[in-house]
Amino acid sequence: MEVAVIGGDGRIEALARLLDRDGHDVRCYGLERGDLALPRAGSLGEALEGARAVILPLPMGGGEELNAPLAASPIPARALAEAISPDALVLAGKPEGVFAKAAEARGLRVADYFAREELTVKNAAVTAEGALEILMRELPVTLLGAKVLVVGFGRIGKFLALRLHLLGARVTVSARKPEDWAWIQSLGLEPADTGCLAGAVRGFDAVVNTVPAPVLDREILRELDKSCFVLDLASRPGGVDLAAAEELGLRAQWALGLPGKAAPETAGAAIRDTIYHMWKELECSQWKG
Amino acid sequence: MEVAVIGGDGRIEALARLLDRDGHDVRCYGLERGDLALPRAGSLGEALEGARAVILPLPMGGGEELNAPLAASPIPARALAEAISPDALVLAGKPEGVFAKAAEARGLRVADYFAREELTVKNAAVTAEGALEILMRELPVTLLGAKVLVVGFGRIGKFLALRLHLLGARVTVSARKPEDWAWIQSLGLEPADTGCLAGAVRGFDAVVNTVPAPVLDREILRELDKSCFVLDLASRPGGVDLAAAEELGLRAQWALGLPGKAAPETAGAAIRDTIYHMWKELECSQWKG
Amino acid sequence: MEVAVIGGDGRIEALARLLDRDGHDVRCYGLERGDLALPRAGSLGEALEGARAVILPLPMGGGEELNAPLAASPIPARALAEAISPDALVLAGKPEGVFAKAAEARGLRVADYFAREELTVKNAAVTAEGALEILMRELPVTLLGAKVLVVGFGRIGKFLALRLHLLGARVTVSARKPEDWAWIQSLGLEPADTGCLAGAVRGFDAVVNTVPAPVLDREILRELDKSCFVLDLASRPGGVDLAAAEELGLRAQWALGLPGKAAPETAGAAIRDTIYHMWKELECSQWKG
Amino acid sequence: MEVAVIGGDGRIEALARLLDRDGHDVRCYGLERGDLALPRAGSLGEALEGARAVILPLPMGGGEELNAPLAASPIPARALAEAISPDALVLAGKPEGVFAKAAEARGLRVADYFAREELTVKNAAVTAEGALEILMRELPVTLLGAKVLVVGFGRIGKFLALRLHLLGARVTVSARKPEDWAWIQSLGLEPADTGCLAGAVRGFDAVVNTVPAPVLDREILRELDKSCFVLDLASRPGGVDLAAAEELGLRAQWALGLPGKAAPETAGAAIRDTIYHMWKELECSQWKG
């Protein structure tokens, strides 16, 4: 299939390479400063010419210009929307703002691959491994034998807690629902109540938050051992009071956007798989391509 | 707390023992033929006298008599409902039928512990381990190195697939949703599409179904290797065409009620934990005990 | 290659099938009561005729008759030794006694596949899984969450402890050497000193011995919880005082020969792999076949 | 016990802290630039005064000066040997050279804790986790799903291969002995023959060498995928031809001394445990302290 890939970071670059490897006719634009070996389109128009699918960055960016850190020159969002053929399917990560409005005005079909649960799951797995890397780098002890508290038992919490456990850490996972406690225990982990962390956070070598709400506030942070490392993996607004952590002399770090940083190729492959699912489903329904 | 425990199997027996160990004042009736070392009530009335909570079997049974395989004599459901004080909280596993009607007529407060998600989760973990035992017993090969297909990625499918993987089996898990495939892959397992099993079931040493719908029909069974062992863990109506399996000369088994059989003490402890959660929540709301 | 397979149990039967599948010209004798689908030799002579390798049972048995539980009629050890061509390579499991003497007198080349370390290792892995099956069957609790003591950190101890740990058991492993304690800790397990078990064996749901020396004597057994299950996996003379266990009312079991019972096909495949290694090494050295 | 701790890096610093925490009377010298909160001796003499045990660095260094990167000023090896009381037990990591000679001349009792197998094992576990960190940092893919070849099945190879496997990598381990292949297979990993790597190294995302011999020579390196990352964990002389790797455009890294870098506290705790074992054994034998 003819696919235009426009802008984006290392994940989109990896995605372009994988689509090419799978036999698609890939035209790239806005990845000039990466090390992609694919033939590149000389202009936006050339890239879009005849493309049945147009893949935009993650996040695509809601402003005047596309999120395109590897592009030789800025890519105007409005002009892009106006250059895409109404026959093409646009696949964007979190489409919004300038592009989204312009695309809607023109009646373009825009699908959000970032909204797909399977991509969220795979990104959570990459994030969990990225978190392991940070913990290994920051802790003066091995994860083997370390006492680690994971706050939250969503996707990232699940993957991270399991991996920590398999590496030999003594893992406590806090959650709010009895059914989550049942899962935690049934995976061989120690459960705790996120609502009752006060008085229960001593002795940990590391605390990892995954909940995007103010869970690790000053009061809880004050109870941590001074040598405890605090890692926040929650998306904005995060869940750790970083200012309080600094005042208390705790080492703390907020890691955002780990999939793109820790493993861009795996993150790109996850986008590829997601896009394939979307194509397959669209074929069966409204999209006659 | 004063607790009456009436009827039930080895799980309820274990539950009574655990409640006693936790310091409750436990009165048992209908467990005479078990090997419970607790003081037993001489009559139903004695057991219920002053009890603030009454625990009934799992399943309690909807007929004229309570499900009480360890009882010295039958326990009539209606008489039981009439003997319970309206002040007591009744905790029953799947309350229904004769008892449920009589209890409702009397305005008894009846709560169903089997409907609690945390118990379902814990039972799934016990079921998964029970399935491992059956597979080890039935297969002429070790799970280490065996090729196993798990059909369905619900609670039991998740626990079983993970354990098989950790024991060294080469595990494929089939599901229907892309997000489940993402989970399966992110746990290091091989995904398959439950909707497309035809043509994809050769070479397995064992196939374990967890889906209570006709998934492993004659057509699929026909494709299995003759030496493949088929295990159905799905609740009624099951998911394997056992008649077809027999005709095809396949070894197949439908394992129902594994928690109570494989690990009654763990299953009883799971009921205990669930009941404690229920008590705690009720304390905070309508139940003033 | 022309291979005669004489006597033995389900493992040897599986071995014969695998050799046939690998393209060898297999002639079986003494497996008549098994369900082997291979063409069988009508007589010992027919089986041995032209065979370049002769595979004998594990253990082959040191008495007048070969260990051949699946044979239609007894196979005399001496007559067998006299019927084998001096050009053939004899591969036997623990050759000894009548056959060994007769073979030596005739100058037969006899190699002991059971003495090969790789077979011992693979058998240990099968034994460990067989032990899991027994524990699952015998314990009223799941291995998930169970407290298990593994005595000894040899091959079986290593495999068993790791698998128990991965299934969620809380595993203590006892050994005598500091380096073993280091291994045990580095695998995420709890170490103990086999020399100091007295006073340290309370609270276990199961104790599994792997040391063929009197480790679990009356004194230690007396300290176990009454509900503790004792499993002895050690080869003769075993390591558990079974008489004392019975007197003390403990459930105890001595499991010998697990590989052949728990997973004959895997055990047969392990013998096959071992024999291939032996053939390959012999080719490179004295055996010119 | 009165213990003098002289020189060394972060591991020795952690060791001093742990000894203090365990109640010993610890006197430090040569750790001035670290962040140790213990009271420090003002001079070498003060530190050694009355010390029944003297702990020296790992490695202690064979030259004129002790290995003491955290010392405010150099510590002369000869003067140190002359200042230690003959009643004290000297515990050094790889004692050699100037100090060793001077100590021998004075009849000091010097024991080498680095020669203890349990420390080697624990260091291997720390090294394996350090290697995971490097792989996570260097690879553009997650270890989940990555194809990794581990060359060598010694201590580090065992720990690393197991951890990679548990994190979801597809792990091949090469060794030379059939018994090691049996272990590798029985742990659920793919075996390979270290002697036959030529022709078998395509498709790997990473290759990790643990063998201190020229295994990954130019010929083998040439066969690797261009994107493959090569990590050498072998002690000197290493096992990867790094010059050839660079010429071939491969990313390669030789990681030496990982325990001290990746997890100094865990490495220090391992030395502490080892020293305790040595003390205990010496008590039972010649050392009457």
Tell me the pLDDT tens digit for each residue of B108-167: 999 999 999 999 999 999 999 999 999 999 999 999 999 999 999 999 999 999 999 999
Q: Is the dihedral of CA A206, A211, A214, A219 positive or negative?
A: negative
Question: What is the rounded distance in angstroms from the CA atom of residue D16 to the CA atom of residue D56?
Answer: 11
Statement to judge: residues C94 and C161 lie in one domain: no
CATH of the domain at B59: 3.40.50.720
Task: With H, G, I as helix, E, B as strand and everything else as coil, classify residue D111.
Answer: strand
Sheet architecture: strand order including D190-193: D190-193, D170-175, D147-151, D206-209, D229-232, D251-254
Domain contains D51: yes
Domain contains C289: no
Question: What is the rounded distance in angstroms from the CA atom of residue D276 to the CA atom of residue B59?
Answer: 56
Band (C262; pLDDT cuts 50, 70, 90): very high
How do residues D213-252 score in pLDDT, each as one tens digit?
999 999 999 999 999 999 999 999 999 999 999 999 999 9
Q: Is the dihedral of CA C141, C144, C149, C153 positive or negative?
A: positive
Statement to judge: residues B30 and B80 lie in one domain: yes
Distance of CA A129 to the CA centre of its chain: 12
Statement to judge: residues C72 and C105 lie in one domain: yes
Nearest CB among A144, A145, A188 relative to C144 is that of A188
Q: List the alpha helices (DSSP H) in C202-263.
A: 218-223, 242-247, 258-262
Domain contains A162: yes
Question: What is the rounded distance in angstroms from the CA atom of residue B92 to the CA atom of residue C46?
Answer: 70
Domain contains B289: no
Question: What is the rounded distance in angstroms from the CA atom of residue C120 to the CA atom of residue C127?
Answer: 10
Chain B residues with CB inside 8 Å of A181's CB? 118
In the prediction, which pLDDT does B36 show? 72
Band (C283; pLDDT cuts 50, 70, 90): low
Domain contains A289: no
**Cross-chain residue pair B144–D188, CB shorter than 8 Å:** yes
CA nearest A241: which of A219, A271, A273? A219
Amino acid at D85: S
Q: Let me know: does C145 contact C242? Beta carbons within 8 Å.
A: no
Task: With H, G, I as helix, E, B as strand and everything else as coil, classify residue A204.
Answer: coil
Which parts of chain D register pLDDT below 50?
Answer: 285-289
Chain B residues with CB inside 8 Å of A186's CB? 121-122, 124-125, 159
**Cross-chain residue pair A144–C188, CB shorter than 8 Å:** yes
Statement to judge: residues C99 and C139 lie in one domain: no
User: Looking at residue D234, what DSSP letter applies?
Assistant: P
Inform me whether the pLDDT recorded for B75 exceeds 90: yes
In the prediction, which pLDDT does A21 show? 94
Q: Let me know: does B231 contact B206? Beta carbons within 8 Å.
A: yes
Q: Residue A139 corresponds to which tokens in the numbers above? A: 């802790």
Question: What is the rounded distance in angstroms from the CA atom of residue A28 to the CA atom of residue A5?
Answer: 5
Measure Cα distances from D125 to B216, C190, D155, D157, D190 in Å.
45, 15, 8, 10, 21
The domain in which residue C152 lies consists of 124-256
How do residues C140-194 score in pLDDT, each as one tens digit?
999 999 999 999 999 999 999 999 999 999 999 999 999 999 999 999 999 999 9
The 3-state DSSP composition of chain A as helix, strand, coil percent (nearest 5) reads 40, 20, 40
The minimum CA-CA distance between D129 and chain C, rounded to whole Å, is 11
Task: With H, G, I as helix, E, B as strand and everything else as coil, classify residue C90.
Answer: strand
User: Looking at residue D253, what DSSP letter applies?
Assistant: E
* Chain C residue closest in CA terms to D185: C122
How do residues A85-102 score in pLDDT, each as one tens digit?
999 999 999 999 999 999
Q: What's the domain count of chain D? A: 2
* Interface predicted TM-score (ipTM): 0.93
Inform me whether the pLDDT recorded for C286 exceeds 80: no
Sheet architecture: strand order including B25-29: B25-29, B2-6, B53-55, B89-92, B109-112
**Strand-pair partners of B28:** B5, B40
Statement to judge: residues B110 and B129 lie in one domain: no
Longest dimension (CA), chain B: 63
- Mean pLDDT within B190-201: 95
Statement to judge: residues A158 and A272 lie in one domain: no
Inform me whether the pLDDT recorded for B200 exceeds 60: yes
Q: Is A187 on the interface with C (CB under 8 A)?
A: yes
How do residues C60-88 score in pLDDT, each as one tens digit?
989 999 999 999 999 999 999 999 999 99
Nearest CB among A119, A179, A274 relative to B121 is that of A179
**Cross-chain residue pair A186–B119, CB shorter than 8 Å:** no
What is the DSSP annotation of D36-84? --S-B-SSHHHHHTT-SEEE--SS--SSSB---TT-SS--BHHHHHHHS
Work out the mean pLDDT of chain C and round it to a whole number.
94
Inform me whether the pLDDT recorded for C39 exceeds 80: no
- Mean pLDDT within C4-10: 95
Number of other residues whose CB lies within 10 A of the CB of residue C289: 11
Q: Let me know: does C143 contact C162? Beta carbons within 8 Å.
A: no
Inform me whether the pLDDT recorded for A50 exceeds 70: yes
CB within 8 A of D32, min separation 6: which ones?
Answer: D40, D70, D71, D72
Question: What is the rounded distance in angstroms from the CA atom of residue B70 to the CA atom of residue B10?
Answer: 8
Work out the mean pLDDT of chain B and round it to a whole number.
94
Inform me whether the pLDDT recorded for A230 exceeds 70: yes
**Cross-chain residue pair D137–A133, CB shorter than 8 Å:** yes
Give φ, ψ of D175 to 5 degrees.
-150, 175
Statement to judge: residues A251 and A142 lie in one domain: yes
Statement to judge: residues A36 and A105 lie in one domain: yes
Inform me whether the pLDDT recorded for C288 exceeds 60: no
Inform me whether the pLDDT recorded for B288 exceeds 70: no
* Chain C residue closest in CA terms to A168: C188
Statement to judge: residues B141 and B224 lie in one domain: yes
In the prediction, which pLDDT does A284 show? 52
Percent of chain C with pLDDT over 70: 98
In the prediction, which pLDDT does A110 show? 96
Statement to judge: residues A273 and A221 lie in one domain: no
How do residues B226-249 score in pLDDT, each as one tens digit?
999 999 999 999 999 999 999 999
- Chains with 3 or more CB pairs under 8 A to chain A: B, C, D
Statement to judge: residues C130 and C246 lie in one domain: yes
CA nearest D118: which of D273, D288, D286, D282? D273
Q: Residue D164 corresponds to which tokens in the numbers above? A: 């990679």
Q: Is B125 on the interface with A (CB under 8 A)?
A: yes
Q: Please name the residues between 144 and 163 in chain A that touch chain B, using a CB distance below 8 Å.
A: 159, 162
Domain contains D289: no
Mutate to test the interface with A, among D129, D142, D167 (most CBs of A within 10 A): D142
In the prediction, which pLDDT does C129 show? 98
Chain D residues with CB inside 8 Å of B168's CB? 186-188
Q: List the alpha helices (DSSP H) in B61-172.
A: 77-83, 97-106, 117-138, 155-166
Statement to judge: residues D149 and D248 lie in one domain: yes
Chain A residues with CB inside 8 Å of D132's CB? 132, 136, 167
Question: What is the rounded distance in angstroms from the CA atom of residue B160 to the CA atom of residue B174?
Answer: 13
Stated pTM of the model: 0.94
If residue C154 lies in a helix (H) or strand (E), which one and from where to where? none
Nearest CB among B14, B133, B265 relative to C137 is that of B133
Amino acid at C211: V
Amino acid at C276: Y
In the prediction, which pLDDT does C284 show? 52
